[in-house]
Amino acid sequence: MSIPQSDVERRKQISVRGIAQVGDVNEIKKTFNRHLHYTLVKDRNVATARDYYFALAHTVKDHLVSRWIRTQQYYYEKDPKRVYYLSLEFYMGRSLSNTMINLGIQNSVDEALYQLGLDIEELEELEEDAGLGNGGLGRLAACFLDSMATLGMAAYGYGIRYEYGIFAQKIINGEQQEEPDDWLRFGNPWEKARPEYMLPVNFYGNVVDTPNGKKWVNTQVIFALPYDSPIPGYNNNVVNTLRLWSAKSPIDFNLKFFNDGDYIQAVLDRNLAENISRVLYPNDNNFGGKELRLKQEYFMCAATLQDIIRRFKAAKFGTREYTRTDFDLLPDKVAIQLNDTHPSLAIPELMRILVDIEGLPWNKAWNITVKTCAYTNHTVLPEALERWPVEMLQNILPRHLEIIYQINHLHLEEVLKKWPGDLDRMRRMSLIEEEGGKRVNMAHLSIVGSHAVNGVARIHSEIIKSDLFKDFYEMTPEKFQNKTNGITPRRWLLMCNPGLSDLISDKIGEDWVVHLDQLSKLTQWAKDPNFQRAVMKVKQENKLKLAQLLEKEYGVKINPGSMFDIHVKRIHEYKRQLLNCLHIITLYNRIKRNPSAKCTPRTVMIGGKAAPGYYTAKKIIKLINCVANVVNNDPMVGDKLKVIFLENYRVSLAEKIIPAADLSEQISTAGTEASGTGNMKFQLNGALTIGTLDGANVEMAEEMGRENIFIFGMTVEEVEELKRKGYNAYDYYNANPELKLVVDQIQNGFFTPNNPDEFKDLADILLKYDRFFLLADYDAYIKKQEEASNVYQDQAKWVEMAIHNIASSGKFSSDRTIIEYGREIWGVEPSYEKLPAPHEPRELTLKEN
């Protein structure tokens, strides 16, 4: 293995990564060798690179455990209000680098590995991503965990330990193929199974009336086995817990078969029950409506709520331990945040626990439930809103359906009280939809069952008040809030872009890592030629590194001097990768028409996964690859334009791509992207944005000033106006010959001579069925791209704008987002105090909870 001396040297300089102390380095070497020997059972003659990765991961994890145990002891002792973040997705990515950074041991580990003759960057690449998410929603949950730990909050992530995460994407003949993500194949050194905390979850059965109220009986039980992963805060000795549930068959599963004597069949069928946590559903912004998914959602909620109630009851005051029975205190001690409606069954489940099990009166239980729960909406797209068939709930969760009906009954009484005789409003606001088969609208359930409802960017929060949830806003305006999303600056700058991190720390110190607002101090050097040169140099190095990676991994050669124009996110019609394609083809046609015209060389990179069942998204991937094939092999084009599809976009790839970006594509139809967080990552890393006034782009533009961003296209109001008057794509197609040519080329198979009909359906969408108005924004987009190309010619101007981007990204730290959730929803304040380190004395020696 070769040692990249420059990287080791560079990483050494950074003091935020901790200073390498001889004692620490020797200790790490010893621990590493001990793990190689005792944990991996290998010596250096037979150890593989993966063995070294695991030895290193265990070594770094060892540094966490005392802090982890102590943090949990501290929470048990102090009994602060706990925050529970419930999510069907946690898109964590890799843990090794992040853990070393947050613990401040990166330099010691670097030095230790160097002395052992090992290449740490090579080992880091062997870690599987924890790909337990689809895109923005899952990554948000991961950023929030980092911020909550860094802000010293007693917070817990709760979700599912999917055996298979988001599929691996392979591009074969230009098409996406999915491979199962068997991420646990080699074991997961970061998790700890906790079989002693296993809990039962019930399904099916029926409801009976008893003298003590309703009882859910004759159920099938499946156990939920918790796996805990540590969530280290940045430099504060706090380690929180992400608890993920795995489905486990009970010993007596299929007893009927045992009695029938079919022992083998009974054992084989245990797998069926365990399918609940087998695989992440790969839909982004789409409701699939599958029964197994409903079971996953309930499985997570039921196990989590038992855990929450158990921990609530096991309060400890001073030296006195007791069981808490006063559930009025629940909202003072527990906040439950629902990441979209996916965990919304937590609401009827909490009601079932309080009413059926704890014996509380309905009204009291309802007040407690509403005060405890809060709901975050992530989308206004109708196809993404969860609406479970009543029949399915009746079968799987009969008691919960009854509870939902009762909630609805009381809710509609309130509606009628406020708007007597307004039957249409009652129909619109019902939790039960009647049209096309009865369904439960889970967003309506979530709003009614929560004390706070929030959107994820200002514009999105306004849209849910004025449109999607207008009736509910009119009924309870005090519930509706905004919490603009953010990203963690630890992973998305300090860790992924050490060059830029150093440069920033040299100028303004290291406080920005936990107070990202301080980046605004960089504004004073926006015009400073020395600082500009330094920022450009870092960007150039990052681009070179990405170019080398692409050449090594995919054999594609790109020009590192070209503009890196990057569009990475899930493939979805509303995100308009197809609009980017129209631009690429336009550039191609212009080069062909006028080969001698001067132009800004571009490398356009598009990446992202399509949901396996999303036909149009998969076709868009194929079009990008077919266009790339023509453009990249046309000698007349040469270095002026290259098109790359970035295979298997995921967290660890994002960390390599984003620091190398010049231009960030954020071009969704105004009103469709709730916030976006990819946009923020690019801004933080000094890319300029070309984007619409959608989601958080609006606030980004406001923070940096319109002169530092390429904003184009229709506003939300203009889109609404266009919908009212009726959109006719042919108006735009016929009015613009350049656009007409591009659409015709897609239509008539210009990029697939062997199959001229290949993209007819895409052209048909553009001209006849386009819900996202691509042609209406085409002209403005092309003009804005020209402007970006022109500015790029003036490198000093470009880097000045880039510095303004970085300097104004402070708002988009997820620390700021979490502080707002804490103050305005949870009633929890951040703490910047450090817990004592493991070697420091502590007053408390109490059992873990």
Ligand X SMILES: *Cc1c(COP(=O)(O)O)cnc(C)c1O
Query: Does 139 interact with ligand X (rule: CB under 6 A)?
Result: yes
CA distance 509 to 499: 14
Q: Which stretch binds ligand X (CB under 6 A): 463-471, 615-623, 677-685, 787-795?
A: 677-685
- The neighbour count for residue 774, using CB atoms within 10 Å, is 24
> What H or E segment, with its residue span, contains residue 216?
strand 213-217
CA distance 686 to 689: 9
CA distance 474 to 480: 10
**Shortest Å, Cβ 235 to ligand X:** 23
Which single residue is written with the structure tokens 């994820």? 456
Catalytic residue among 11, 29, 243, 575: 575
Query: Does 231 interact with ligand X (rule: CB under 6 A)?
Result: no
Per CB under 6 A, the list member of 94, 101, 114, 135 interacting with ligand X is 135
Catalytic residue among 681, 784, 804, 811: 681
Residue type, 656: K
CA distance 426 to 423: 5
Q: Which stretch binds ligand X (CB under 6 A): 153-161, 675-683, 722-730, 743-751?
A: 675-683
Q: Going by C-beta distance under 8 Å and a sequence separation of 6 or more, which residues neighbour residue 251?
A: none
Minimum CB distance to ligand X smaller for 142 or for 503: 142
Q: Do residues 610 and 286 lie in contact, with contact meaning Cβ atoms separated by under 8 Å?
A: no
Q: Do residues 767 and 743 lie in contact, with contact meaning Cβ atoms separated by under 8 Å?
A: yes
Q: Do residues 71 and 631 lie in contact, with contact meaning Cβ atoms separated by under 8 Å?
A: no
CA distance 837 to 121: 28
Q: Do residues 452 and 370 lie in contact, with contact meaning Cβ atoms separated by under 8 Å?
A: no
Per CB under 6 A, the list member of 348, 449, 455, 678 interacting with ligand X is 678
**Shortest Å, Cβ 287 to ligand X:** 18
**Shortest Å, Cβ 379 to ligand X:** 11
Residue nearest to ligand X (CB): 678
Q: Which of residues 613-652 bind ligand X (CB under 6 A)?
A: 649-651
Catalytic residue among 677, 689, 692, 817: 677
Minimum CB distance to ligand X smaller for 105 or for 581: 581
Per CB under 6 A, the list member of 18, 136, 607, 686 interacting with ligand X is 136
Q: Which stretch binds ligand X (CB under 6 A): 39-47, 394-402, 670-678, 758-766?
A: 670-678
Instruction: Please count the residues of this chain forming the interface with ligand X, following the rule CB under 6 A.
Output: 13
Q: Do residues 208 and 214 lie in contact, with contact meaning Cβ atoms separated by under 8 Å?
A: yes
- The neighbour count for residue 717, using CB atoms within 10 Å, is 11
Partners of 240 in beta bridges: 231
**Shortest Å, Cβ 555 to ligand X:** 23
Please confirm, yes or no, whether 569 is among the known catalytic residues. Answer: yes
Minimum CB distance to ligand X smaller for 29 or for 681: 681
CA distance 473 to 382: 18
Minimum CB distance to ligand X smaller for 311 or for 567: 567
Query: Does 486 interact with ligand X (rule: CB under 6 A)?
Result: no
Cα atoms in the Cβ-side hemisphere of radius 13 Å centred on 643: 26
Per CB under 6 A, the list member of 677, 708, 785, 809 interacting with ligand X is 677
Catalytic residue among 82, 94, 378, 567: 378
Q: Which of residues 236-295 bind ligand X (CB under 6 A)?
A: none
- Quick one: which of 546, 567, 741, 782 has its CA closest to 790? 782
Please confirm, yes or no, whether 324 is among the known catalytic residues. Answer: no
Catalytic residue among 570, 576, 622, 811: 570
**Shortest Å, Cβ 677 to ligand X:** 4
Q: Which stretch binds ligand X (CB under 6 A): 134-142, 359-367, 556-564, 715-723?
A: 134-142
Per CB under 6 A, the list member of 226, 398, 486, 676 interacting with ligand X is 676
Minimum CB distance to ligand X smaller for 450 or for 805: 805
CA 133 from chain center: how many Å? 6
Please report, to the nearest 10 degrees, the dihedral formed by the alpha carbons of residues 312, 316, 317, 322 taken in order. 80
Minimum CB distance to ligand X smaller for 136 or for 159: 136
CA distance 240 to 64: 10
Please confirm, yes or no, whether 677 is among the known catalytic residues. Answer: yes
Per CB under 6 A, the list member of 11, 569, 602, 622 interacting with ligand X is 569
CA distance 169 to 181: 9
Please confirm, yes or no, whether 817 is among the known catalytic residues. Answer: no
Query: Rg for the chain (alpha carbons), in Å?
Result: 28
* Catalytic residue list: 378, 569-570, 575, 677, 681
Q: Which residues bind ligand X (CB under 6 A)?
A: 135-136, 139, 569-570, 649-651, 654, 676-678, 681
